[in-house]
């Protein structure tokens, strides 16, 4: 069953200097429970694509659907995680997780156990009453992931969620995200600049061209799960990375 269906989607921005064509005739689908990563050079429209799927931007042409329903604005069945955790400093960890519940008036009492169970799932047992400034960057991002899952969304959109973390923390968060995904099996669209990160995490990797962004490859990653970090050193890992990297002519257009 298709969770996400994108058909001939294009996005244009009007600027002082004229029209910027961010995305051009993007078409793809994502199955229920599938983990799909999107890679491409800076400015190719990756974040624009995510914002359209989140209902934060309207497409200029084409359409995007979630479980058969057009995405025409922000929806309760979509969870979003950005590069910055965007936690409210005056709210505790638990209250930050429950923020969507409070805003959407979904019933705090009904979701309290869900929130504590999710915090346990991401290894934050005992941190419910702490505040964001008391947490490391990786812990803050775990809170952001938990907040995105609290209302049981049909789709989880992640826009370079680990891009601001140091290399070692980023690796640990990749393992953590894989573990959460294997347990919850949410449909995930994951934006990243890092080809190895995309290959490590995803079932499929969509490769975008420089602006205007078009899909030039759809790479199926057939490495068994669960994947340990050591898999990046295995012979079967490198061909995926090299295949994607070959799509880019200019050196330095995408992170290694």
Number of domains in the chain: 2
Q: Both 148 and 161 in a single domain? A: no
Q: Please report, for the chain, how many H helices and E strands are present, in that order.
A: 8, 10
Q: Both 56 and 144 in a single domain? A: no
Note the pLDDT tens digit of each residue in 129-149: 999 999 998 899 889 989 988
Predicted local confidence at residue 101, as pLDDT: 85
Note the pLDDT tens digit of each residue in 50-61: 999 999 999 999
Predicted local confidence at residue 253, as pLDDT: 53
Predicted local confidence at residue 111, as pLDDT: 87
Sequence-ordered list of residues with C-beta below 8 angstroms from that of 184, at least 6 positions apart, any chain: 121, 149
Pair 41, 253: CB distance under 8 Å: yes
pTM of structure = 0.89
| Distances, alpha carbon 218 to alpha carbons 29, 58, 117, 180, 252, in Å | 11, 24, 35, 24, 21
Binned at pLDDT 50, 70 and 90, residue 34 comes out as: very high
In a domain, 58, yes or no: yes
Q: Is the confidence at residue 107, as pLDDT, over 80?
A: no
In a domain, 255, yes or no: no
DSSP one-letter string for 137-155: HHHHHHHHHHHHHTT--SE
Q: Which residue has the tokens 């490391």?
A: 136
Q: Both 240 and 174 in a single domain? A: yes
* Domain that residue 42 falls in: 2-77+154-245
In a domain, 93, yes or no: yes
% of the chain exceeding 90 in pLDDT: 55
Predicted local confidence at residue 250, as pLDDT: 47
Q: Both 30 and 17 in a single domain? A: yes
Binned at pLDDT 50, 70 and 90, residue 248 comes out as: confident
Q: Both 161 and 238 in a single domain? A: yes
Predicted local confidence at residue 249, as pLDDT: 55
Q: Both 231 and 199 in a single domain? A: yes
Phi-psi region of 158 (alpha: psi -120 to 50; beta: other; left: phi over 0): beta
Note the pLDDT tens digit of each residue in 169-201: 889 889 989 988 998 889 999 999 899 999 999
Q: Both 224 and 190 in a single domain? A: yes
Pairing status of strand 61-66 against strand 2-15 = antiparallel
Domain edge (last residue) among 110, 137, 152: 152
Domain edge (last residue) among 152, 180, 207: 152
Sign of CA dihedral 128, 75, 12, 29: positive
Binned at pLDDT 50, 70 and 90, residue 252 comes out as: very low
Pair 147, 99: CB distance under 8 Å: yes
Sequence-ordered list of residues with C-beta below 8 angstroms from that of 189, at least 6 positions apart, any chain: 4, 30, 36, 37, 38, 50, 53, 155, 156, 157, 158
In a domain, 37, yes or no: yes
Identify the residue with better confidence: 8 or 138.
8
Q: Both 210 and 241 in a single domain? A: yes
Predicted local confidence at residue 5, as pLDDT: 95
Q: Both 175 and 227 in a single domain? A: yes
Domain edge (last residue) among 106, 122, 152: 152
Torsion angle of the four alpha carbons 5, 9, 13, 17, in this order, in degrees rounded to the nearest 10: 150
Q: Both 14 and 66 in a single domain? A: yes
CATH code for the domain of 55: 3.40.50.300
What is the pLDDT averaged over residues 211-219?
Answer: 92
In a domain, 252, yes or no: no
Record the tokens describing residue 105, joined without a space.
Answer: 């008036």
């Amino acid at each position: 069953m298709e969770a996400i269906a994108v058909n001939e989607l294009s996005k244009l921005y009007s600027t002082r200097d004229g029209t910027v064509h961010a995305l051009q005739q993007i078409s793809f689908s994502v199955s229920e429970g599938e983990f799909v990563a999107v890679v491409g050079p800076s400015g190719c429209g990756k974040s624009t694509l995510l914002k359209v799927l989140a209902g934060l931007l309207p497409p200029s042409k084409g359409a995007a659907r979630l479980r058969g329903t057009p995405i025409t604005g922000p929806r309760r069945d979509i969870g979003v995680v950005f590069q910055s955790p965007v936690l409210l400093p005056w709210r505790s960890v638990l209250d930050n997780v429950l923020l969507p519940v409070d805003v959407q008036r979904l019933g705090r009492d009904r979701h309290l156990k869900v929130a504590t169970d999710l915090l346990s799932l991401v290894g934050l047992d005992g941190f419910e009453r702490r505040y964001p400034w008391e947490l490391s960057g990786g812990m803050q991002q775990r809170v952001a992931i938990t907040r995105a899952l609290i209302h049981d969304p049909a789709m989880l959109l992640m826009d370079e969620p680990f891009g601001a973390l140091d290399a070692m923390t980023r690796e640990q968060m990749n393992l953590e995200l894989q573990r959460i995904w294997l347990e919850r099996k949410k449909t995930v669209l994951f934006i990243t600049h890092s080809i190895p990160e995309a290959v490590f995490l995803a079932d499929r990797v969509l490769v975008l061209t420089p602006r205007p962004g078009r899909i030039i490859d759809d790479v199926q990653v057939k490495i068994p799960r669960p994947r340990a970090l050591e898999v990046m050193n295995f012979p079967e890992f490198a061909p995926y990375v090299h295949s994607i990297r070959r799509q880019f002519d200019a050196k330095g257009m995408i992170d290694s």
